[in-house]
Amino acid sequence: MNTFKALQISKDGEQQQTECVQLSREDLMPGDVLVAVEYSTINYKDGLAITGKGPVVRKWPMIPGIDFAGTVIESDHSEFSPGDAVVLNGWGVGEVHYGAYAEQARVKVTG
Amino acid sequence: MTPKQCMAVGTAGYTAMLSVLALEKHGITPDQGPVLVTGANGGVGSVAVSILSKLGYEVIASTGRTEHADFLKQLGASSVIDRAELSEKGRPLGKERWRAAVDSIGSHTLANVIAQTQYGGAVTSCGLAQGADLPLTVMPFILRGVSLLGIDSVMAPKAAREEAWARLQQDLDLEKLELLSETVGFDQIVEKATDIVDGKIKGRVIVEIA
């Protein structure tokens, strides 16, 4: 998959916009593990981020979504290998790091 | 759990589990008295009701949507109360009604929940649906020894996450998880995100990304 869809929120002054965009892997933020996202979820916090009713997003533009479940595509980290089923909750993803509402996500391994 | 079931749990469900673990670590047990869950129709609340009832606690569910009382009873609530009882500015101390509580609402609701907690009880704070303020007095703490336990899921260390997910596997009934979750497509994210902030979502929303 050369390009994939993502939900992006951006800010123009005080106005917040949401649009569906096509991204490539090069557009994702740096990280150790690239994941094919299969499922995500909508938490109250995701609602605050998308509607702009709460100060959740702290970097713009952002791909929101604080939770995902999917399969590892590529990994530079010894703990994860391609094909692994993974779940992520939080860690600032969807707030300061591109998040779950995209068909692919690249994240850093912590801890 | 399947990837889809993990997302039915999500941050909201895992936060509910962290709250239950915090109450357990404080020494709260089912024989001590009922546990109140506020925002019981919400994501944290619906999972908390399910887990606590499975563990044998008597669960009092507080909601603004009492029309869903049957749903909450199916999840395991023993009784359902109207959130209006808790949402307005209240007295510093009230009648002792519950031994513990899981609160995802904040503001006056959390203040009233604490003011009506039994001697030696504990309340977890894990949300702000009513507001981020907390207008209360020290009276419940210094006269009743009530504890307020803070719950963060975002930066929780790996060990705490592993413990919470292991306990979710054990103590969350998958039939209840199915009952409390709906699945939507990628193109419904914005609509459902608006609904959740407006208090129109019951339980958990799973998004099918690919």
Residue B183 falls inside a structural domain: no
B77 belongs to a structural domain: yes
The share of chain A scoring above pLDDT 70, in percent, equals 98
- Residue B32, domain member (yes or no): yes
Which of B3, B11, B129 faces A89 most closely, judged by CB atoms?
Answer: B11
Looking at residue A107, what is its pLDDT? 97
Closest CA relative to residue B57, chosen from B106, B16, B105: B16
| DSSP E strand stretches across B78-203 | 79-82, 98-103, 117-125, 147-150, 181-185
Q: Does residue B60 fall inside a structural domain?
A: yes
Task: Please determine, for residue A22, whether its predicted confidence score (pLDDT) is greater than 90.
Answer: yes
Q: Any idea what the CATH number is for the domain that residue A44 is in?
A: 3.90.180.10
Separation of alpha carbons A58 and A27, rounded Å: 18
User: Does residue B56 sit within a domain?
Assistant: yes
In a domain, B138, yes or no: yes
Q: Say yes or no: B206 contacts chain A, CB-CB below 8 A.
A: yes
Q: For residue B85, what are the domain limits?
A: 11-150
Domain assignment present for residue B195? The answer is: no
Which residues lie below 8 Å from residue B118, measured CB to CB, with a gap of 6+? B32, B33, B96, B97, B98, B99, B144
pLDDT digits (tens, 9 = 90+) for B103-128: 999 999 999 999 999 999 999 999 99
Q: Residue A49 belongs to what domain range?
A: 4-107
Inter-chain contact A41–B7, Cβ cutoff 8 Å? yes
Tokens 């606590």: give the residue. B52
Contact A89 B10 (CB under 8 A): yes
Task: Say which CATH number the domain at B133 has.
Answer: 3.40.50.720
Query: How many domains does one find in chain A?
Result: 1
Q: Do A103 and B192 touch (CB under 8 A)?
A: no
pLDDT in tens, B122-158: 999 999 999 999 999 999 999 999 999 999 999 999 9
Q: What is the pLDDT of residues B32-45, one digit of tens each?
A: 999 999 999 999 99
Helix (H, G, I), strand (E, B) or coil at B10: helix
Residue B67 lies in a domain: yes
- Quick one: pLDDT at residue A13? 84
Cβ separation B209–A90 shorter than 8 A: no
Q: What is the Cα B40 distance to its own chain's centre?
A: 6
- Chain A nearest C-alpha distance from B9 (Å): 9
User: How many domains are contained in chain B?
Assistant: 1
Q: How far apart are the C-alpha atoms of B68 and B41, rounded to whole Å?
A: 8
| Cβ pair A89:B42 closer than 8 A | no
Which of A41, A62, A109 has the most B C-beta neighbours within 10 Å, making it the best mutation to test the interface with B? A41
